[in-house]
Structure 1
Amino acid sequence: MLNEEEKEEFRRLLRYLPEKELILLKDTITSKLIKTHSLEETIESILNHTESASELLSRKKISRSCLFQYLANKKVSIPGNASKSDLVDKFVHSLPSAVAPEVKFRTQLEQLASIGFVDREANIRALTATDGLIQPALARLIGGSNMLNEEEKEEFRHLLKFLPEKELISLKDTITSKLIKTHSVEETIDAILTYTESASELLSRKKISRSCLFQYLANKKVPLPGSASKSDLVDKILHSPNSSNPEKFFQLEKVPEKVPEEQNLALQFASWFYKQINSNNPKSSQVQSEPWGPQHFWYDCKLVLTIKTSDEYRREEFIDANQVAERLLNLSKDELLIFNPNLENFGTKGKMNKHGLMMVGVCGTLHQGSNCLGIFEQNFGLIRDPAFQNNWKIKYSNLFVQSKDVKQTPRLGQESLEALDWHTNNK
């Protein structure tokens, strides 16, 4: 829900709407369940039943004209041809610093949604932790991150209580970029722990002082030399020999395996592509992040679809972006198929050749309603389009679908892996 700073700004904005438009907006938001008798009551009803700032700003009744007048009155410099989207961005940046993360990172959240990352809460956590930087946020979303586990959080709760409240608040503001407001010491500590990437990252913060660490360890009855440095105390916490040692308070952190850039790209693409396909299925709960269509394919794109069942082996070919987009759409929309890709490293692979052709291979299971019909394997050739903001577009794809009983998680077959090698080494 809107915080008080957001409500105050929206009160000013909504006064630029005619009363009739305000009442219609209130009726839409409250499903006509709330009756009001004055302009102020109507505005308060809108604000009290609005889920988020971004949701209210996306309403059609919040027009370009309304936003323009509001910003002009605030002496915000804006070009006369600015679109509503431009004005929304200006509005967001004119809000107080305590603005909610989903508003602060509105543009980045739209970018993540457009490539298939539709878990809004996970996206907000990743963007908050990376101060709104898209690439580091993607790395966290795809490869996971060393967020604190429950044992670490519990020990850090004990440790952070040795910090004065003023220092705790300052630490929370640093970690969350002042985007999270808290009203008690416990809430402040929880905010710190929720948005901390790893134990070593938190222990390296300046606010986690030598004095704080010394008091914490002394309270644990850990013998310490009086001359121990902060570095010594951190090592004492992180690098005890084994979990049975009473001095071992945090589990040793695992160093994440570095995922090659090509593999990251393959995982991003596969996640986006199948969410897009599945969202066209009327029985799917997937949310479509952007319209499906030929714009995702090169004009001369080629699709080879091979279907194998117990009594049929059929091969279909489609050439040009419109035909390819339509055939893939039919699989989901008309035939009601749901693709469940294996987004582990043994189910999705990516390789790039020296000319910039990106090959992606994906396998998974194929479903219709509650029935698992079989498996699929699909490979793609991707090339960047400089006329399409240098985004990747599909040049060709081969899709193999087989009806069979599935008894284990599909893995990419040797033939698919060899195809990746052949394309990247010979094209």
Structure 2
Amino acid sequence: MAGLRPREKAGCRQLLEQLDTADLVSLTETVTNRMIQVFGREEALDAILVYSASATELLKRRKVHRDIIFKYLATQQISVLPSSDKNQLIQHAIEYWKDPVKNPKLSSKPQAKTEDKSHLGSLDCQLLGEQFCKWFYQLLNSQNPMLGHEKGDWGPQHFWENAVLKFSYSTTEENMEEYNGAQMTSLRLLALTREERLVFNPNVDSKGLKCVTSPHGLVVVAVAGTIHRNNLWLGIFEQIFGLIRCPIGENWKIRFVNLKVFGQNTTGSVDSPPMPSIQYKTNELEVFYS
């Protein structure tokens, strides 16, 4: 039995505090198969957390109602749709309890000072970009059934309602698509991995990632990488995100996505993938502020 990690234990304890004592005792009997007798709330909480095989299993118990999970997420300032079902709320909680790098609730606190007066806090902006890219592509790639990974909580909740996706791809000819709204943007990106079986491999080193931030708080993240399917590399991509922080909490949501895909036959390198890099200069990325 794997058990709960420390962050999961702390979160589940806070969440279960909403249950009354009778429900906690009943839940203890279910989790321990009536092998443990408890006296009082604290003993019940301890037994539940110790004997639960996983956080997901615990949250799926009937005594842990949807409203309890929803209220917990609200206290943590995690934005979720009121219409979300219990399984969706569970995924939000599980993602929140993961390691900070994997958590979409990215840090916005400055990590160090920089001498670049034109973009104060650019070092922190770069860190946010790295964290965002690791989270985003891990989540998107997890939707690819060929990888066999546990699917993360992909969906329109990570985008602003007026989000825009501009998607262009060059193979034998150039094609352009545009989608408006969180739902359509989310579904089109999802189709790339779930239906088309693509895997995105971003290059998040200093040459493959560049970030700038506007005076009004919009963060522009530009990243380059390679695209694969099974054991084949198909081409390279450039993707630009516009991120805006939620007014409640520290979550960041995606305002726009510009994705350019270049097929293998257009890169000039057929046998092995080139090292993708971002060619945009700072002033060129600033154009995306408007």
User: Same fold judged by TM-score > 0.5?
Assistant: yes
Could you say which residue in structure 2 is the equivalent of 1:384? 245
Could you say which residue in structure 2 is the equivalent of 1:151? none
Q: How far off its partner does 1:339 sit? A: 0.8
Q: Find the partner of 1:396 among 256, 262, 268.
A: 256
Q: Find the partner of 2:224 among 358, 363, 375.
A: 363
Runs (5+) with no aligned partner, structure 2: 14-20, 39-47, 73-91, 112-120, 265-269
1:290 aligns with 2:150: no
1:314 aligns with 2:175: yes
* Greater helix proportion: 1
How many angstroms apart in 2 are the aligned matches of 1:270 and 1:344?
Answer: 11
What secondary structure does 2:222 align onto? strand
Could you say which residue in structure 2 is the equivalent of 1:343? 204
> Cα deviation per residue 1:388-421 (whole Å; 9 max; x = unaligned)?
5453222222111011134332111x24655314
1:281 aligns with 2:144: yes
Q: How far off its partner does 1:48 sit? A: 8.9
What secondary structure does 1:411 align onto? coil
Q: How far off its partner does 1:423 sit? A: 3.6
When the two structures are superposed, what TM-score results if normalisation uses the length of structure 2?
Answer: 0.63
Q: How far off its partner does 1:356 sit? A: 1.7
Counterpart AA for 1:410: P
What secondary structure does 2:274 align onto? coil
How many angstroms apart in 2 are the aligned matches of 1:302 and 1:47?
Answer: 42
CA RMSD of aligned residues (A): 4.3
Could you say which residue in structure 1 is the equivalent of 2:273? 407
Q: 2:109 touches 2:124 (CA, 8 Å); kept in 1?
A: no
Q: 1:58 to 1:364 in 2, by over 3 A?
A: same
Runs (5+) with no aligned partner, structure 1: 27-35, 65-81, 88-106, 119-133, 140-257
Q: 2:164 touches 2:257 (CA, 8 Å); kept in 1?
A: yes
Q: Find the partner of 1:40 among 26, 35, 39.
A: 35
What secondary structure does 1:276 align onto? helix
How many angstroms apart in 2 are the aligned matches of 1:392 and 1:277?
Answer: 16
Pairs within 5 Å for 1:89-104: none
Counterpart AA for 1:40: M
Q: 1:332 touches 1:338 (CA, 8 Å); kept in 2?
A: yes
Q: How far off its partner does 1:352 sit? A: 0.5
Q: How far off its partner does 1:317 sit? A: 1.4
How many angstroms apart in 2 are the aligned matches of 1:138 and 1:286?
Answer: 33
Q: How far off its partner does 1:137 sit? A: 12
What secondary structure does 1:260 align onto? helix
How many angstroms apart in 1 are the aligned matches of 2:49 and 2:246?
Answer: 43
1:420 aligns with 2:288: no
Q: 1:114 touches 1:290 (CA, 8 Å); kept in 2?
A: no
* Greater strand proportion: 2
How many angstroms apart in 1 are the aligned matches of 2:56 and 2:194?
Answer: 28
> Cα deviation per residue 1:338-370 (whole Å; 9 max; x = unaligned)?
111112122111101112221110111101122
